[in-house]
């Protein structure tokens, strides 16, 4: 099974919709194996968004991501990276399909509620950035036979 990173951005925290977003992942059958609230530093954001540092909108990203604490989550499941990205919707909330998190809760490209890792390599790097080994838990999810077919496990 894969593990991926999701960040509930300040736009979710400030609007008081963290529980609604978390419940969407849980209702899908995705297991939460780590979760905490953190205040993002300049250094963390520069590392996390290193591919955007030279862009004219990078300052706006930093300001937005530091407007309040964020919630970082480690989520686990079969093909969870792809499943989380589909649940999240496209980056621009105005273009995101209704029924996705961004499609239902966002009207912005910046204030788009969640960040989700886009690949296995990215997920591993991002999880390492936000969690220590003892903060991601490996515990039995007793509902697995009701979430996946036997040959999927």
Point out the residues that are catalytic.
115
Can you give the residue ranges of every domain in the chain?
2-152
Q: CATH for 2-152, among 3.40.50.720, 3.30.70.141, 2.60.40.1890, 3.30.1520.10? A: 3.30.70.141
Predicted local distance difference test score (pLDDT) of residue 21:
98
Give the model confidence (pLDDT) of 92-121 as tens digits: 999 999 999 999 999 999 999 999 999 999
Q: What is the dihedral of CA 78, 85, 58, 107, to 10 degrees?
A: -150
pLDDT band at 76 (very low <50, low <70, confident <90, very high): very high
Tokens of 107: 């009207």
Q: In the block, which residue shows the tokens 């792809």?
A: 82
Give the model confidence (pLDDT) of 52-67 as tens digits: 999 999 999 999 999 9
Q: State whether the Cα torsion 90-93-98-104 is positive or negative.
A: positive
């Amino acid at each position: 099974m894969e593990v991926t990173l999701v960040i509930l951005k300040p736009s979710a925290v400030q609007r008081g919709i963290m529980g609604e977003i978390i419940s969407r992942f849980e209702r899908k059958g995705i297991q939460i194996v780590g979760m905490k609230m953190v205040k993002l530093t300049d250094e963390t954001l520069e590392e996390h968004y290193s591919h955007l540092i030279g862009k004219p909108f990078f300052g706006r990203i930093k300001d937005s991501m530091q407007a309040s604490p964020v919630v970082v989550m480690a989520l686990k499941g079969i093909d969870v990276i792809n499943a989380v990205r589909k649940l999240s919707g496209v980056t621009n909330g105005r273009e995101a399909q209704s029924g996705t998190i961004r499609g239902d809760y966002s009207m912005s490209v910046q204030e788009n509620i969640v960040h989700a890792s886009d690949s296995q390599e990215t997920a591993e790097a991002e999880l390492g950035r936000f969690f220590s080994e003892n903060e991601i838990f490996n515990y039995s999810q007793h509902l697995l036979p009701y979430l996946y077919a036997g040959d999927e496990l």
